[in-house]
Amino acid sequence: MQTLGFLGPRGTHSEAAALFLRERIGSDAELRPYPDIFSVMQAVAEGETDCCVVPVENSLEGAVNVTMDTLAQMDDLAIERELIWDIHNQLMAKDADASSIRVIYSHPQPLAQCRQYLKEHFPNAKLISTESTAKAAELVANGERGAAAICTSRAGELYGLSAIATEIQDSMTNSTRFYQLRRRPVPVLNETESGRALIVCQIDGAQAGSLCAVLEEFASRGVNMTRIVSRPARTGLGVYIFFFDLEIEAGSSREPLEASIAAVRKKSFWLKDLGRFPVLEK
């Protein structure tokens, strides 16, 4: 039986995304929780689990840096598919008495996604970061009263918590991009499917216009770049790597895409091709 890792424990947004993907693709994969994002990605790279689901970017808070950095560092991983997942954050506690809340637990991303709500309704509460939203629910369930967790409804149910407030994210368009990753090679995107390609590279930042020259390789061939993310290269201050999301249209020639990537490779110190993959939405 195939195995599918996710950021655990049970009740996280990552588990919800993994459950949806398993049903959508008709898989009977066994779900395996891991304590943090790096651990689940490492488990795939080392062959401990077949594939995993990890968050990559949130519409309110931007890139999930540990996912991006690990993708750049690990040579064995590639992207099988992408999922756009609507995020719903709930404030849960042992009882529904909002006036008693003194401390609020959650993963750093939901804490940031609910910043305005927390400032308005719980300005004096202590905010404590946890490894996951489900871990926050567990801490609240096993701790003293006066604590609450920002988590999923499923996590609240699993740990016997009641809702103080629902849908507390600062924007109702809050969504997260997830990648399903597995070891290379991954299935090739069918030419009748639309999707994306992702590459990461390091260019010569000391040379004026080097980034512009890379972007021109895409633009001159009509390749649409949907996202660019820069991250420290971890080799020295002011040295960066760049991630490029490139659009793939169903039925269109792949030659311009492949030619642009080949040209960018020649302009880079190194380039890693992370795959061609379909995009699912829920």
pLDDT per residue as tens digits for the range 201-254: 999 877 888 999 999 999 999 999 999 999 988 877 778 899 999 999 998 899
User: Residues 195, 277: contact at Cβ < 8 Å?
Assistant: yes
pLDDT per residue as tens digits for the range 15-32: 999 999 988 888 888 999
Here the tokens at position 259 are: 């030619």
**CATH number of the CATH domain containing 156:** 3.40.190.10
pLDDT score at 202: 95
Specify if 274 maps to a domain: yes
Is residue 174 predicted with pLDDT exceeding 90?
Answer: no
Specify if 46 maps to a domain: yes
Here the tokens at position 85 are: 């997942």
**CATH number of the CATH domain containing 233:** 3.30.70.260
pLDDT per residue as tens digits for the range 137-172: 999 999 888 999 999 999 999 999 999 999 999 888
Specify if 189 maps to a domain: no
Q: Give first-to-last CA distance, the chain, whole Å.
A: 26
Domain that holds residue 266: 195-281
Provide mean pLDDT across the span 107-133. Answer: 93
Number of helices (H) and strands (E) in the chain: give both, helices first. Answer: 9, 16
Closest Cα partner for 80 from 196, 219, 233, 231? 196
Phi, psi of 135 (to 5 degrees): -65, -35
The identity of residue 206, as a single letter, is: A
